[in-house]
Amino acid sequence: MPRLATALLGACCAVLPALAVAQAPQRPEVARAAAALQDKVVAWRRDIHQHPELSNRETRTGAKVADHLRALGLEPRTGIAHTGVTAVLKGGRPGPRIALRADMDALPVTEQTGLPFASKVTDTYRGQTTGVMHACGHDAHTAILMGVAEALVGMRDELPGEILFVFQPAEEGAPEGEEGGAGLMLKEGVFADFRPEAVFGLHVFSTLNADRLGVRAGPTMAASDRFELKVIGRQTHGSRPWGGVDPIVAAAQIVNQSQAIVSRQMDISRQPVVVSFGAIEGGIRYNIIPDSVEMVGTIRTFDEDMRADVFRRLNHVAEHVAAANGATVQARIPADEGNPVTYNDPALTARMRPSLEAVAGPDKVVDMPLIMGAEDFSLYAREVPGLFFFVGATPVGADPAGAPSNHSPQFDVDESALDLGLRAMLQLALDYLEGGNAG
């Protein structure tokens, strides 16, 4: 028995180092940098939050970012995709190339948080005056990446490889009639002269507590496509509907019948699908049947074949239902180039998950469900392997199910998330550049 006990003890001791390697600790330089930068990152976030700017209008935010990068000794490139900013940091040793991305734009939402640094900004959106708010957390993303840039510059001499910092405008979508976002950044050459091996991004998220990170391999966020339908009838007096063609009735039937695309025609056991109408506009007076009705909506999918199939089926429904009512329809499905599925490269995700666990703890890195929201980070990840992860925004101890969601006028970010997001992004960058977690 003593010999057996000794043998078992020796075997256990032999296993312990292997376990320690499997779960790498947080890098001490990450902890030091985060502690030193904490107050700065909070201040940057509050300043950006108080001065939000709509998509393609991020002039002040872009200038703040560029000034910071110049102060760090970098040479920022400005004016990409209207207001975007990039900069390259070259380490003191040879190594891989990676890109780190943050988005900068706010939303046409009137803030209701009551924060001392709440936005009081107003602007014009689709011809209407509206409040402007960082209701999705892009202020946090920008501040975090500014901090990551400062931390990595401080490690420049020992750093292997090169990092491209990408501060992107218009993630929420460019104004009508304009191009913007990741698509325009790529079109204007953001990866032309600097082709990274991998791209990383993060998003603060209300469905997680602020001590947690979320990640998912493969399809993560849905493809998002906008559609437009114009149902054309013939105007008549409301008392004589037979004297014209009622586009309102036809439009209502199109809305109803379109729901059968999802519930009866798509194999949603394969992947989920959403078809939603967001706005319907037609007519101006209670007793006049109008000439036309315009409708806009969104399609969300996770599979390219299913995506194309929904486009075809919605066109079919709109055309035939309109015809059955004696009307015609002008359809734009999709209305523009939407966002593809945000896809996390499985090999990259498996390699880098230990980095996330190192900063949050293995029990605080959760597997995310499929998210029907969309992200134009997907366009970068279609060019090179990408990893997009989530940082909890809801205070620890609060129920995320009851927290104001992203895009809500009450949405807020628990500021401890800034520290966790900075440490996570910094650990990912250093581990990848130095070959960490490679199998």
Class of domain 26-221+341-433: alpha beta
Query: pLDDT category, 437, cuts 50, 70, 90?
Result: confident
Q: What is the pLDDT of residue 226?
A: 95
Cα angle value 154/158/163 (rounded, 5°): 70
CB distance 378 to 343 below 8 Å: yes
Q: Where are the alpha helices (DSSP H) in 110-225?
A: 138-154, 181-187
Q: What is the pTM of this model?
A: 0.91
**Strand 274-281 to strand 292-301: parallel, antiparallel, or no bridges (unpaired)?**
antiparallel
Q: What is the pLDDT of residue 9?
A: 42
**Residue 134 confidence (pLDDT) above 80:** yes
Q: What is the average per-residue pLDDT within 204-229?
A: 98
**Residue 248 confidence (pLDDT) above 90:** yes
Strands (E), 382-423: 386-394
CB distance 356 to 213 below 8 Å: yes
Q: What is the pLDDT of residue 12?
A: 43
**Taking all residues of the chain, what is their mean pLDDT, rounded to a whole number?**
94
Give CA–CA dist 149/99, Å, rounded. 11
Kindly give, in sequence order, each residue whose CB lies less than 8 Å from that of residue 180, ignoring residues fewer than 6 positions away: 55, 56, 81, 82, 169, 170, 173, 174
Q: What is the pLDDT of residue 439?
A: 62
Q: What is the pLDDT of residue 17?
A: 37
**Residue 188 confidence (pLDDT) above 70:** yes
Query: pLDDT category, 176, cuts 50, 70, 90?
Result: confident
Q: What is the average per-residue pLDDT within 284-295?
A: 98
Class of domain 223-332: alpha beta
Give CA–CA dist 277/274, Å, rounded. 10
Please provide the DSSP assignment of 185-201 as one string.
HHHTTTTTS---SEEEE
The H or E element that residue 295 is part of is: strand 292-301
Q: How far is CA 184 from CA 69, 82, 164, 178, 380, in A?
A: 22, 9, 17, 10, 11
Q: What is the pLDDT of residue 337?
A: 87
Single out the residue of 249, 416, 414, 268 nearest to residue 321, CA to CA.
249
- Higher pLDDT: 436 or 161? It is 161
**Residue 387 confidence (pLDDT) above 70:** yes
Q: What is the average per-residue pLDDT within 308-313?
A: 98
26-35 per-position pLDDT tens digit = 999 999 999 9
**Strand 93-103 to strand 160-168: parallel, antiparallel, or no bridges (unpaired)?**
parallel
> What are the start and end residues of each CATH 3.40.630.10 domain in the chain?
26-221+341-433
342-358 per-position pLDDT tens digit = 999 999 999 999 999 99
Q: What is the pLDDT of residue 436?
A: 74
Q: Which two three-digit tokens encode residue 303?
A: 């599979």
Q: What is the average per-residue pLDDT within 278-290?
A: 97
> Which amino acids are annotated catalytic?
105, 171
Query: pLDDT category, 1, cuts 50, 70, 90?
Result: very low
> What are the start and end residues of each CATH 3.30.70.360 domain in the chain?
223-332
CB distance 404 to 204 below 8 Å: no
60-118 per-position pLDDT tens digit = 999 999 999 999 999 999 999 999 999 999 999 999 999 999 999 999 999 999 999 99
CB distance 284 to 290 below 8 Å: yes
Q: What is the pLDDT of residue 23?
A: 58
**Residue 8 confidence (pLDDT) above 70:** no
Query: pLDDT category, 375, cuts 50, 70, 90?
Result: very high
- Higher pLDDT: 21 or 23? It is 23
Q: What is the average per-residue pLDDT within 127-143?
A: 97
Q: What is the pLDDT of residue 24?
A: 72
